[in-house]
Amino acid sequence: MTDTGPLDGEVVVLLHGFPQTATSWAGVSARLADAGYRTLAPDQRGYSPGARPRGRRAYRLAELTGDVVALIDRIGTGPVHLIGHDWGATVGWSVAAHHPDRVRTWTAASVPHPAAFSRALRSPDQARRSWYMAFFQVPRLPERVLSRTGAGGPTLLAGAGMDDVALARYRHEMVEGGALPGALGWYRALPFLTPVPRVAVPTAFVWSSGDSAVSRRAADLCGRHVSGPYRFVELGGTHWIPDQQPEAISEAFLAGVTRSG
């Protein structure tokens, strides 16, 4: 886990997505540290070498949510600001919905509220974009494909807009580091996904118009599942917002804190 910024600053917990680790938040952490915040970015279950349980049930959303709540309670500073990207956003939606007493503000990047995404999957556009979610259910084959050099995994990620620096980090952390089976466990636990209630805490949703994985319909539906203060921030660019637009997501967070305060 990375711990950046002043120890007496308000705490921001950063939740990474697939297929990345806490290092994807480096640019955001630096900007928030300059603004006086302490950021904690854990390598989540399946990604951390010390927390890679076997079996897809170990990666149910309830388990992933519990990990974040346990971290917040361990910090012991009271409610935290929460920012999540991709799968980290899905977990963050669940934390904010089920444990609003632990969350001051919630900022989601790329992935909307699970109910919005589920409804959007009924459309051909989102279903086409989400083909990989079915592929990742297949045993062992996704690991082999995503571990290849040249064609295969890197090509798939590059096609989604991941740049060369992030691809090199992916190979080192995910492939050589052995994190792929655990990371894919998050997808393989999708059959056990349970509904996530509406979110009442102050929320910002940041989405890129060039996102190849999440459609505009999914983004537009998100606000229906937030009962508290809500802002939708649309960017250009690709799915990889923390890496490629750290200033934009940092500004969206800071604007939300100002408004909620």
Query: What does pLDDT average to over the chain?
Result: 95
Kindly tell me if the per-residue pLDDT of 8 is higher than 60. Answer: yes
Kindly tell me if the per-residue pLDDT of 152 is higher than 80. Answer: no
Higher pLDDT, 152 or 9: 9
Q: In this predicted structure, what is the pLDDT of residue 180?
A: 96
Q: Side-chain half-sphere of 54: how many Cα atoms within 13 Å?
A: 1
Q: In this predicted structure, what is the pLDDT of residue 153?
A: 61
Kindly tell me if the per-residue pLDDT of 129 is higher than 80. Answer: yes
Question: How long a stretch of residues is the chain?
Answer: 261
Please give the share of the chain, as a percent, with pLDDT higher than 90: 93
Kindly tell me if the per-residue pLDDT of 200 is higher than 90. Answer: yes
Kindly tell me if the per-residue pLDDT of 125 is higher than 70. Answer: yes
**Cα angle, residue 82 at apex, residues 184 and 107 outer, rounded to 5°:** 90
Q: Which residues of 62-89 are buried (b: 16+ CB within 10 A; e: fewer)?
A: eebbbbbeebbeeeeeebbbbbbbbbbb
47-85 residue pLDDT tens: 999 999 999 999 999 999 999 999 999 999 999 999 999
CATH homologous superfamily for the domain 2-260 = Alpha/Beta hydrolase fold, catalytic domain (3.40.50.1820)
Q: In this predicted structure, what is the pLDDT of residue 256?
A: 84
Residue ranges per structural domain of the chain: 2-260
Q: In this predicted structure, what is the pLDDT of residue 12?
A: 98
**3-12, 147-156, 194-203: least confident range:** 147-156
pLDDT band at 11 (very low <50, low <70, confident <90, very high): very high
Q: Which long-range contacts (CB under 8 A, 24 or more apart) does 244-252 make?
A: 244/161, 244/163, 245/208, 246/26, 246/27, 246/28, 246/30, 246/31, 247/27, 247/31, 248/206, 249/28, 249/83, 249/85, 249/107, 249/109, 249/206, 250/28, 250/31, 250/32, 250/35, 252/107, 252/204, 252/206
